[in-house]
Amino acid sequence: MFPKLHLPPASLRIRQNTDRQEVWCILRHRFVALTPEEWVRQHFVHFLISARNYPAALMGNEVTVNVGGAKRRCDTVLYNKVGGTPLAVMEYKAPHVPITQEVFTQISSYNSVLKTAYLFVSNGMQTIVCHIHKDTGSYTFLQDVPWYETLIQIGH
């Protein structure tokens, strides 16, 4: 039903509810509707935890932020151990949705509130990671998703 992604396979718990398929969200600790975007989110979160050592306890899915008076939901936010401040914000799209400037405008609007050091955008086929240099406001695109230990070292 869902395409193979350019992410490691994830052991997902999927069930059929009366009218829809659902997947167990390891961050929200409940079953949620299995949409194409959720397919990407769950694979990406599993990848971060199992392949890049990101602590699940420091991540949240569907985090609400107030952007210009409108409530928006960030797909995933990674928090810093020290002070619990946001360190990275992640935006996912369905595998068939291209990553465009519009997607970066969307995640940048979230980051205008969160002020994280990293932006991650993925549709499961392509992943783009951007490090924002807080001192200058400039940014660098990274070649790969950093390990958590590397992320917290350069993320200040």
- 19-39 pLDDT per residue, tens: 999 999 999 999 999 999 999
Return the DSSP state at 29.
T
Averaged confidence pLDDT in the chain: 92
Does any domain span residue 25?
A: yes
Does any domain span residue 26?
A: yes
68, 56 Cβ separation under 8 angstroms: no
Does any domain span residue 9?
A: no
Does any domain span residue 1?
A: no
Does any domain span residue 7?
A: no
C-alpha 30/C-alpha 15 separation (Å) is: 12
Three-state SS at 65:
strand
Does any domain span residue 2?
A: no
At 63-108, the pLDDT tens digits run 888 888 889 999 999 998 877 889 999 999 999 999 999 999 999 9
CA diameter of the chain:
52
Res 137 pLDDT > 90: no
Q: What is the CATH number of the domain that holds 84?
A: 3.90.1570.30
Banded model confidence at residue 156, pLDDT cuts 50, 70, 90: low
pLDDT reported for residue 126: 96
pLDDT > 90: percent of the chain: 76
* Tokens describing residue 12: 């997902």
pLDDT reported for residue 71: 92
The pTM for the full model equals 0.93
pLDDT reported for residue 101: 93
pLDDT reported for residue 155: 57
What range defines the domain where residue 121 resides? 14-154
Number of structural domains in the chain:
1
Does any domain span residue 138?
A: yes
